[in-house]
Structure 1
Amino acid sequence: MAGCKSNQGKFYPQFDHIVLLSAPADVLLARIATRTNNPYGKRPEERAAILQHLADVEPRLRATATVEIDTSAPIETVVQQLEDLT
C-alpha cells in the first residue's frame, strides 16, 4: 500500500483525476509472497498489518478518488486505463 498524508486532500483540486490503484487482498498477498526485491510482507505480522491497512485506509482513499483501477487486471489493461484518463 502507498502512504498517505493527512493534508493530501488539499492538493486534489490541482489534479484532473485522483486515481486509486487497488487490488484484492489475495492478489496483494500473492504478489508480496513472490517478489524477490523487497522482504517486507514476508512475516506474518507484516501481512496482518497490510490487511489491516487495506481495511482501514483503502476505504478512505476510495471515498476521495475520482477513478478506481483494479490492478489485478493485466498490466497492459491498467496502463491503457491510465492513458485513457488523459
Structure 2
Amino acid sequence: MTAILITGMSGTGKSTALDGLEQRGFRVVDTDVGGWIHDVPLPDGIGTEPLWREDRIDALLTEHERSGEPLFLAGTVLNQVDFSPRFDEIVLLSAPLEVMLERIASRDTNPFGKTAEERARIEADTAEVEPLLRSSATVEIDTRKPIAEVVDQLEALARTPRSKRPRTPGN
C-alpha cells in the first residue's frame, strides 16, 4: 500500500499536515520525534548531521509494506534519499521564507527557530537544501492555502494510485 514521504523546510507545515492526516485515521510518523534520528559526526570533526536511523526506518517501511495501509512519514534529513525508491510519492511542502519564519516565530509546539542563529540557519538551509528537495519531489504543495486543502491533497495521493491520476504540472 501507499507510502508517502512528506518533506520540506522548517515552518512549511509538516507536523500540522500530519496532525490533520492522523485525525482522518491515517498512520503517520514524524521522524523529528521518537528516536528516528541520530546525530552523526561530520567528517571534519566539527559538528554533527542529523540522519535517519536506517535500521528503524527500514523496519518501519518493511512492516508498512505488509500492512496494506497507507503510511505518511515526515522528515527532512540527508539520508532520506537512500529510501526514495520505497516511497510511492515524495511530497515537498513549501512556502515563501517570510511565511515560514512567521510560523516558526509564533508556534509553541517546537522550540527550533526561535534564536537569531537558528533563523539564520533556516534561511541558509532554505537556499541550499530546498532546491535539492524540490528536485527529488514527485509532488509539491504550497502550504499558504488552508491546512484542510493541504490535507485533502495528501489524502488524495494516498487514495489514488499514481498511474490513475491525471497528469498535471507538479505531479
Which of the five TM-score ranges fits, normalised by the shorter chain? 0.7 to 0.9
Corresponding position of 1:42? 114
1:44 CA displacement? 1.4
1:9 CA displacement? 2.3
Return the structure number with greater strand share.
2
1:38 CA displacement? 2.9
Closer, same or farther: CA 15–40 of 1 in aligned 2, 3 Å: closer
Closer, same or farther: CA 15–38 of 1 in aligned 2, 3 Å: closer
1:61 CA displacement? 0.6
Of structures 1 and 2, the one with the larger relative CO (CA 8 A, separation 6+) is: 1
TM alignment of 1:9-28, pairs within 5 A: 9-28=81-100
- Supply the AA of the counterpart residue of 2:142: D
Corresponding position of 2:134? 62
Query: TM-score, normalising length from structure 1?
Result: 0.86
1:20 CA displacement? 0.7
Structure 2, gaps ≥5 residues long: 1-9, 11-74, 159-171
1:15 CA displacement? 1.8
- Bigger radius of gyration, 1 or 2? 2
- Supply the AA of the counterpart residue of 2:78: K
Return the structure number with greater helix share.
1
1:5 counterpart = 2:88 = no
Distance 1:66 1:11 in 2: 14
Distance 1:73 1:49 in 2: 25
Structure 1, gaps ≥5 residues long: none
Distance 1:12 1:57 in 2: 16
1:65 CA displacement? 0.4
- Supply the AA of the counterpart residue of 1:76: A
